[in-house]
Chain A
Amino acid sequence: MIFIIAISIGATIVFGVIAIIFSMREEKAIKKLVENEVRQKQRLYEITMLKEVQDRIGYSLDVEKVVEVITGSLDALLKYSTVSALIVKDDTLVFKIHMKDSVSKHYIEAIKASMLTSYSTLEGIDVPQVIDGNISGVAIDDLSHADAASYFHIPIIVNDKTVSLLNVSSTTPELYSEEEMTILYKIANMASQAFSKLEDILQVEKGKLMAMIGSLADGLFMVDVNGQLTVINNAAKDFLRIPKDNPTTIDLLSALPNSYDFSAKIQRAINHKRVIEEKELKIDDKVFQLFITPVFDESITTEKKVIGASVLLHDITLEKSVAKMKEDFTNIMVHELRSPLTAIKASSELLMAPPAPLTDEEKNKIIGLISGQSRKMLDEVSLILDAAKLEAGLFTVQKMPGDLKKLISDRVAVFNPQAHERFVNIVVDIDPSIPSFSFDPIHIGQVINNLISNSLKFTSSGGTIKVTAKPAIGSVVVTVSDTGAGIPKDKQHLLFSKFTQLGNTEHGAVGTGLGLYIVKGVIEAHGGQVSLESEEGRGTTITFNLPLDAAAKSPSAPTPVGVSQPQPQKMVN
């Protein structure tokens, strides 16, 4: 009996021990399973979050969205009382907090202070001011005395600048495991790197865009929806005379005309999402065509919305001045052609139906007048035709051997009576050694006429016009100078342009404005050059040279047949 009892006890003990061993093994296995499950959950959370953050970053540098993703899904990873974020938005810090457990205001302020100290240490700056954003989650409990017993900060750094700082906290001490915290740092680190790469790409693209905008001849600037200046190119700064490298919105608005309500136009372009065009806007002494175009954010992650407006300034000053010159020219031409026609018409009518019989002398005088006016008209028309040919590149010269000395003397002789009437001296200094050479006598005659005629127009009584011709190496240099009014420095570059009329002449005479344009064309067609020296109030000298042909350059070049050797001459009227 005792034996049976002993065996029973022994068996019970053995089974008990076996049961305990199995139970311990089962417990271990369960614990291992739970740990595996936690690890799997953490791994799953990590993968999901990494993908989610990557998707959110996409092609946008919206840090706030990524912060929302991380904080919004924190429940799946760990327990917490509050999750907070400091976000840098347009150089301002915004603080947001979400409460899962009721905590006091003091708790929130302590978290905020700790985050600000962290941020200031990271950035090496004084503790900055912060704007309070949302407080979400459960209600604040000011009766709670709990402190943040566990917490950690997670910075999001983009290219060496902290763009956000997250904080996870709990009232429970020593709550967070290394694995849990590391997962969040890993996610934040991935976001930091993705943002940094994206910002690098955007910087490169922005650099390219800025280089392109900078190289534009048109002025261009951009403002955001609040009317703040974001981009301006050098042409726009030049047009608006803004000397600063980085002008502000105030600098921009001050440079625009007060009469033009620029801000209202920008707002209209943004609100109505359409281009506003100003056909003519006068700024200082320039005229611009202006286009205000709304700029849309067309990134794939956001719906199409207006983010500002670009303003293009196209300088039309030259076009406007050319249009005005053409208009003036038309008026001048009408006047220039109408005057001789009126004289011809009146003279013809007088000849056909004289109020009283005309003497032969009177008839000859009227016929002479008709002839003179017809020639004048023909000259004007020839000028226009020559100008048209020059413009089209069809102008040609008919060179033939000739004596430039004689041509100049003849032209001066034509102007002598007119100069005499105005008490202006014409001095001629022609070097007799100038050989005969090939040039277009009609057009060169026209050039000399034009230069002397211009000098005569601008020289007052008692003044002097000097015409010289001298040989140079391979060419002949001719100058026509006067002691007239001179030409202002800022107008000199316009002198050889088409339709240019530089102020009133001494006697109120006007011309087509084509004269010097054709002078330049004729001389250049001969292979020569024209230059100008002028000083206001002291006079003007126009110099041109005509290349000698090969025969003329030779010292033994024969004198052309029929051209007599001229004598040195100096004529004073």
Chain B
Amino acid sequence: MNNAATDYQKVLTEVLQKQIIILGPAITLTKARNVPGINIDNTGRVISLEGDGHAISVKVLEQFRELSPLLVKKTMAPLLNAILYSQGQKAPLPTPTAPAPSPAPSDNNHAQQKHEEQSHQTV
């Protein structure tokens, strides 16, 4: 996997985990999984990208833009920057920040593991 693909994977993970906190896992994972070529686990971590990372990112963005353009503008700046950068714009590809916290109200590891195992829709 080349560097660009890894970068897209990191940015997508950051953005999707943030969306899980904001919107909840149900809608976030459903919308992200509508895009062919993206493999995501139930925490929003992108396991792999099959194909062009840029094209997949654009499609993911489009999925959420259909849901709410204002939300994309407000919360998906890293992905937008990544896409603009790869299109030859000046904005640099952002370095992903620390992984977003789990949306689950329970913060212990057991609960997190249970959350992943059981269903992506549990609070």
Contact = CB atoms under 8 A, between A and B. Distances in A.
Given A150-B121, A196-B70, A121 B105 contact: no
Contacts of B121: 149-151, 173-176
Interface residues of A, number: 36
Nearest to B104: A114
B122 A173 contact: yes
B70 A181 contact: no
Nearest to B118: A173
Contact of A151 (B24, B30, B67): B24
Q: DSSP majority for the B interface?
A: helix
A110 B102 CA distance: 13
A368 B73 CA distance: 99
A196 B69 CA distance: 12
Interface string A162-179: 100001010001111010
A147 B27 contact: no
B119 A117 contact: no
B7 to A, nearest CB: 22
A189 B69 contact: yes
B58 interface: no
Contacts of A176: 26-27, 121
A153 B70 contact: no
B70 to A, nearest CB: 4
B73 A122 contact: no
B105 A188 contact: no
Given A149-B119, A185-B67, A196-B70, A114 B103 contact: yes
B123 A157 contact: no
A148 interface: yes
A151 B123 contact: yes
B74 A160 contact: yes
Contacts of A215: none
Nearest to A120: B21
A480 interface: no
A117 B103 CA distance: 8
Nearest to A167: B24
B26 A152 contact: yes
Contact of A118 (B21, B31, B119): B21
A182 B74 contact: no
A385 interface: no
- Contact size class for B? 20 to 34
A387 to B, nearest CB: 70
A122 B75 contact: yes
B18 interface: yes
Given A110-B105, A114-B105, A121-B21, A148 B122 contact: yes
Nearest to B24: A152
A449 B114 CA distance: 108
Contacts of A149: 119, 121-123
B71 interface: yes
Contacts of B34: 178
Contacts of B70: 157, 160, 189, 192-193, 196
Contact of B123 (A122, A147, A188, A192): A147
A122 B30 CA distance: 20
Interface string B85-100: 0000000000000001
Given A148-B123, A173-B119, A173-B121, A122 B67 contact: no
Contact of B26 (A109, A114, A118, A150): A150
Contacts of B22: 118, 121-122, 153, 155
Nearest to B19: A121
Q: Which of B22, B70, B122 has the most CB of A within 10 A?
A: B70
A149 B27 CA distance: 13
B119 A153 contact: no
List 8 A-B pairs, minimum CB-CB distance, nearest first.
A148-B123, A152-B24, A150-B121, A157-B70, A110-B105, A173-B119, A185-B67, A189-B68
Interface of B: 18, 21-24, 26-27, 30-31, 34, 66-71, 73-75, 100-101, 103, 105, 118-119, 121-123
28 contacts: A114-B103, A118-B21, A121-B18, A121-B22, A121-B100, A122-B22, A122-B75, A148-B123, A149-B123, A150-B119, A150-B121, A151-B24, A151-B123, A152-B27, A153-B22, A157-B70, A160-B73, A160-B74, A173-B118, A173-B121, A174-B121, A176-B27, A178-B31, A181-B26, A185-B68, A188-B68, A189-B70, A192-B68
Given A117-B103, A178-B31, 7 more contacts: A113-B105, A150-B119, A152-B27, A153-B24, A154-B23, A181-B26, A185-B68
